[in-house]
Structure 1
Amino acid sequence: MKVSLVTYTNEPERTVAAAARLCYSPVGIEEILEQMEKEKIETFIQKLLDLNHLSPFEHASFTFAIEGISRALTHQLVRHRLASYSQQSQRYVVEQNFNFIIPPTISGNNEALKVYQEVLRTVKEGYLKLVAMGIPAEDARYLLPNASETKIVVTMNARELLHFFEVRLCTRAQHEIRKLALKMLEELRKVAPVLFKKAGPLCETRGVCFEGPMSCGKLKAKT
């Protein structure tokens, strides 16, 4: 899995702090930006987080290029609707040398891995035979499984990213998207450490858990 932060709002933390400050200031945004000192920015953002006043966070956006993930992951990812996505098309891209993602529970089990690879090899051969017969890639792709490797570009604003981390860094999240969330957070903390200082699962950020009987019990152990 490869995750790259390819572009983001210039000075995202200053932008968020200035947008929030504008709501309570008689002066314009340019004057506010000039007066914004680093220490004040950090203090102001922390106050916004403490008050759960997150609408100003929507003014900072971040774009990621993600590779080496499965279609199973992207089916989950696109459920986060306050985002923009551009994914490699199986309709127009003929998958001549495509790869498959192997879950760790299978890669660590030799017998299971053998079954998994045999089935995927058969699928791949069938797909390529259909394409060679002149079947359009958009129809041959019906054979392709969730394990198919894919690439996607994702853009989210800071508020949506915080929500994304609340649900996808939970220990109940599926392993692959949880790994993705961890890598995305690592990249974000390099460029906006204050905005994402406290990013994490709901049990850590808000002290609540909505998993019910399926909860990992971490929050209960704390209380």
Structure 2
Amino acid sequence: MKVTLLHYTPIYICSHAIRTCWQSFSKGDCGGEKDLELIDRVGNKFKHASTLEHLYYNFYIQGISRACLQELARHRIASLSVKSTRYTLKELKGEESFLPINAENIKRAKKYVVLMGESSGDSIVESKVESAESSIDSATNLAESIESKADSKLDSQIAKVDSASIHALENLRLILLENTSLDIAKYALIESYKTELTWSINARSLQNFLMLRSSKSALREIRHLALSIYEALPEEHKFIFLPYINEK
């Protein structure tokens, strides 16, 4: 997953909007400490959050799953322009088989699917493969071996799902090799298939997004996305959103 901040509204636009209400422009300092205090007091503490809508952020989000995209689309006060599978799904045609499941094929598959076991660039499936692949011939037996070596029940479940994602990716590749129409083939897409989008949102809506999606009860991937979006924000803007980072 990669989040890039493409553009954002300068902070003084928000303070100017607030000062418009009282015509207090002479008290401003063009986005300095006085203006920052005003934004925090009026927008956050006094809950006149409509003034924060003058701040807009444009992000380029890469490498999230279609499952995560569905969650993101529920935040309707935002604009999304998403990579079209109708025009780009043919990218799979040039790939070799993703089976059997081994370290090299897992690495190739990760270009197209989000593996749940990914952590610091690795996955539970990949970590289990190295010790199992030398003595395992079939992909089915390899998946069983991975599961048996998992450190916990959760790891076993994740390994099974990641293995299923890779098999589904291979099935989709085979469908495309039969020159199936992309409009038809896209119905075989799995939730873990990677996508990317340009996402634009105002500060008030972003506060709501961060409050809901930074929670530990949120889908793990969208929580990672929410925290990555917060980290991508300009340092001088983060005070607006810090109270909405949910650690519970």
TM-score (norm 2): 0.71
Contact 1:62 1:155 in 2 (8 A): yes
Instruction: Quickly say closer, same or farther: Cα 1:3–1:37, change in 2 above 3 A.
Output: closer
Contact 1:188 1:196 in 2 (8 A): no
Structure 2 partner of 1:7: 7
The alpha carbon displacement at 1:117 in A equals 4.6
Residue 239 of structure 2: SS of its match in structure 1? coil
Distance in 2, matches of 1:132 and 1:105, equals 28
Structure 1 runs, 4 residues or longer, greater than 4 Å off = 31-35
Distance in 2, matches of 1:61 and 1:37, equals 16
Distance in 2, matches of 1:61 and 1:138, equals 34
Structure 2 partner of 1:104: 117
Residue 67 of structure 1: SS of its match in structure 2? strand
Instruction: Quickly say closer, same or farther: Cα 1:47–1:89, change in 2 above 3 A.
Output: same
- Whether 2:23 is the aligned partner of 1:22: answer no
The alpha carbon displacement at 1:5 in A equals 0.4
Instruction: Quickly say closer, same or farther: Cα 1:184–1:118, change in 2 above 3 A.
Output: closer
**1:48-59 mapped onto 2 (5 Å cutoff):** 48=42, 49-59=44-54
Larger radius of gyration: 2
How far does the alpha carbon of each residue in 1:40-96 deviate from its partner, in whole angstroms, 9 at most, with x for none? 111101211110111111011001111111111000000000000011111111241
Higher helix share: 2
**1:18-167 mapped onto 2 (5 Å cutoff):** 18-25=16-23, 36=30, 38-48=32-42, 49-94=44-89, 95-96=91-92, 98-104=111-117, 107-108=123-124, 110-111=146-147, 112=156, 115-167=160-212
How far does the alpha carbon of each residue in 1:87-138 deviate from its partner, in whole angstroms, 9 at most, with x for none? 1111111241552111139944731465445433332232222222221112
Residue 62 of structure 2: SS of its match in structure 1? strand
Distance in 2, matches of 1:148 and 1:81, equals 22
Percent of pairs with identical residues: 30
TM-score (norm 1): 0.78
> When the two structures are aligned, how many residues end up with a matched partner?
197
Unpaired segments of 5 or more residues in structure 1?
A: 205-217, 219-223
Structure 2 partner of 1:215: none
Contact 2:79 2:201 in 1 (8 A): yes
Instruction: Quickly say closer, same or farther: Cα 1:157–1:32, change in 2 above 3 A.
Output: farther
Distance in 2, matches of 1:145 and 1:108, equals 20
Structure 2 partner of 1:209: none
Give the aligned CA root-mean-square deviation in angstroms.
2.5
Distance in 1, matches of 2:14 and 2:33, equals 14
Structure 1 partner of 2:217: 172
Unpaired segments of 5 or more residues in structure 2?
A: 96-110, 126-145, 148-155
**1:187-206 mapped onto 2 (5 Å cutoff):** 187-201=232-246
Residue 86 of structure 2: SS of its match in structure 1? coil
The alpha carbon displacement at 1:143 in A equals 1.2
Instruction: Quickly say closer, same or farther: Cα 1:117–1:57, change in 2 above 3 A.
Output: closer
The alpha carbon displacement at 1:198 in A equals 2.6
The alpha carbon displacement at 1:191 in A equals 4.8
